[in-house]
Amino acid sequence: MTHGPDIARIAALVADPARSAMLLGLMDGCALTATELASLGGITKQTASSHLAKLVDGEVLSVEAQGRHRYFKLAGAHVAALLEALMVFSSDAVPPLRTGPREPSLRKARICYDHLAGEMGVALYDHMQENAWVDDGLALTEKGWRHLAVIGVTQAELPRSNRPQCRACLDWSQRRHHLAGTVGKLILDRFFALSWARRLPNSRIISFSPEGERRFGEWLR
């Protein structure tokens, strides 16, 4: 009778199977595109578009347009907290989601959309910050470009887009940031081109060769 907080409105946003699947897919804090989320929810992109509009309108998700992509992510920690409060009820699948991937190789290095995630991705991000390859605004410094040139990544390669050069992406297994953005993508592309690493089929695992891992370590010295 008395109008309390409108918790039904938010609950309804989570109550749809497709939407909840998308939300669970974003629990790692990463931002995904609309089509990726559509496949997560097992629905067409039209339907996903409608769902995502609702979630953004309800301030459950936040969206960032970059080029022709739109990256969706959880609107904040309170959303993750809500999802966790809901997960308590399903006795089965309680633990695995926030503890990160089980397979060690996934923890070590995997692809996150188009850039490097996992321990090695976090190491790269940390190194770039600590050694002033990027400034406080995550823009590449003179010094940063010099070091990137060592493996063959040049400023000329940057597509003329307004997608940011560097972006921080929360790492699922590490719960720390790794490097995303166009530079993140370029670097990973170089790793592949230099045969330092390759993708395993049907998996997000990125497998570094012993030689590649050694060179990676040297590059960061």
Q: Check binding of 43 to DNA (CB under 7 A).
A: yes
Question: Choosing among a copy of itself, DNA, none, which partner's interface includes residue 33 (Cβ < 5 to 8 Å by kind)?
Answer: DNA
Q: Check binding of 11 to a copy of itself (CB under 8 A).
A: yes
* Cα distances (Å, whole numbers) of residue 199 to 170, 202, 209: 21, 9, 11
Helix (H, G, I), strand (E, B) or coil at 22: helix
| DSSP H helical ranges for 42-93 | 45-57, 77-87
Closer CB to a copy of itself, 89 or 130, in the complex: 89
Among 30, 52, 179, 205, binds DNA (CB under 7 A): 52
Closer CB to DNA, 28 or 119, in the complex: 28
On the CB side of 46, how many CA atoms lie within 13 Å of its CA? Answer: 0
Residues 31-70 that bind a copy of itself (CB under 8 A): 39-42, 58-60
Question: Choosing among a copy of itself, DNA, none, which partner's interface includes residue 59 (Cβ < 5 to 8 Å by kind)?
Answer: a copy of itself
Q: Check binding of 160 to DNA (CB under 7 A).
A: yes
The sign of the dihedral angle between the CA atoms of 112, 116, 120, 121 is: negative
With CB under 8 A as the contact rule, which of the stretches 47-55, 90-98, 154-162, 177-185 interacts with a copy of itself? 90-98
* Cα distances (Å, whole numbers) of residue 172 to 52, 71, 159: 22, 17, 28
